[in-house]
A and B are shown apart, each in its own frame.
Chain A
Amino acid sequence: MDDSSIDAARTLADPVRRRLYEYVAQSGEVGRAQAAEALGIQRTLAAHHLDRLADAGLLEVSLRKVSGREGPGSGRPAKLYRRSAGELSLHLPPRDYELAAHVLAEAVERHGAEESLHAAAREEGRRIGAGHRGEPLDELLRARGYEPGEGVEDGAGDGAVRLRNCPFHTLARAFPPLACGLNLELLRGMLEGRGEDGERARMDARPDRCCVVISKNNER
């Protein structure tokens, strides 16, 4: 654990900032005015907090001219904020589950034990799902870090649930087939544990998001 994680956590302690952070994370890339409007706060206040979040490394800033104007008089470029690609983790006392996960993944690969991994993930998913039968699927996915949203933007506007965040990101970078296979089985298990059709979850890997999509109810 390093000091920057503690600083970032402290930055998020402010409720307005936390809402801003969540709004930016949800929206992809936003400008100050848009964020201010979404939260119903003043633009200068939004700008202040957005910059604090950027200082803490939680957001990344890019500059872009708005509305494609160029040349003199086209105005200053607008600041756009997006969630930082870097990861923060805060474990007290210090823990390193990620290292353990990488070593275990390596062992599964060496042994060719994917089938057992998939079975274990499916069972774990069923346990999780069974404990969350009553609540909306979106809420369960959100609580598990998947950041669900409807996939209208990529032409798959079929009401399918896209997952914008991969909760196993670094593992999935290092061991893609293995981590994505685990993830798919986990999600299928969760659906089954809730009494739904597990096959609604299917593989649909695209750059920069979770490898799984969940088809609309009764739609397969």
Chain B
Amino acid sequence: MNETPSSGHHLAQINVGVLKAPLDDPSMAGFAERIDPVNALADEAPGFVWRLVEEGAGDATGLRPFGDALLINYSVWEDVESLWNFTYRSEHLELLRGRREWFERIEEAYLALWWVPSGTIPTVEEAGRRLDLLREHGPTPEAFTLRTSFPPPADRAPHV
């Protein structure tokens, strides 16, 4: 958790969810109405770098690269702490607290993290691969979680 922020690496985050009903269904209103404000909050959050947005839209809810059922949320952050604070110490927490109401329970890991060289945006295919890695091997430096995170790769050879 407390690794020093690495200027050489940023943290990529993918998470997926299966909606219980279409986004425009009345039962999903509690989720749907929070999407814009929470995305705006992310954009302003300390340490936020990038998030996937559908061309011509304000979010990625219309993109379903892993199949129609899977909503994806894909972003890049400066470090674990900034992502942690946004995820759990902002209004975003309300979305998580209510997630059982709007999302099917997924037995497997639904969120994966990994380090990318700063300034690069990994592909959606790469994100899928990292999620698979996490599901197959559990948390490793190649694909991990907020609860079990790993420090960024050393930017240069360690001092001896």
List the interface of chain A (C-beta within 8 A of B).
Answer: 112, 114-115, 173-174, 176-177, 180-181, 184, 203, 205-208, 211
Contact = CB atoms under 8 A, between A and B. Distances in A.
A176 B86 CA distance: 12
Interface in B94-130: 94, 96-97, 99-100, 105
Given A112-B105, A174-B147, A176-B93, A205 B88 contact: yes
B91 interface: yes
Contacts of A115: 100
A112 B100 contact: yes
Give the 7 A-B CB pairs with smallest separation, nearest first. Answer: A176-B88, A177-B96, A112-B105, A205-B93, A207-B89, A205-B89, A181-B97
B136 to A, nearest CB: 19
B85 interface: yes
Task: Give the size category of B's interface with A.
Answer: 10 to 19
- Please report whether the interface of chain A is mostly helix, strand, loop or mixed according to DSSP: helix
- Please report whether the interface of chain B is mostly helix, strand, loop or mixed according to DSSP: helix
A180 B100 contact: no
B35 to A, nearest CB: 18
Contacts of A112: 100, 105
A174 B147 CA distance: 6
Contacts of B96: 176-177
Nearest to A173: B1
Nearest to A110: B107
B7 interface: no
Given A114-B100, A205-B93, A211-B93, A177 B88 contact: yes
A177 B93 contact: yes
A171 to B, nearest CB: 12
Contact of A180 (B85, B93, B147): B93
B89 to A, nearest CB: 5
B85 A207 contact: yes
B90 interface: yes
Interface string B58-90: 000000000000000000000000000101111
A181 B91 CA distance: 13
A203 B89 contact: no
B87 to A, nearest CB: 8
A60 B24 CA distance: 51
Contacts of B100: 112, 114-115
Contacts of B91: 203, 205
B13 to A, nearest CB: 15
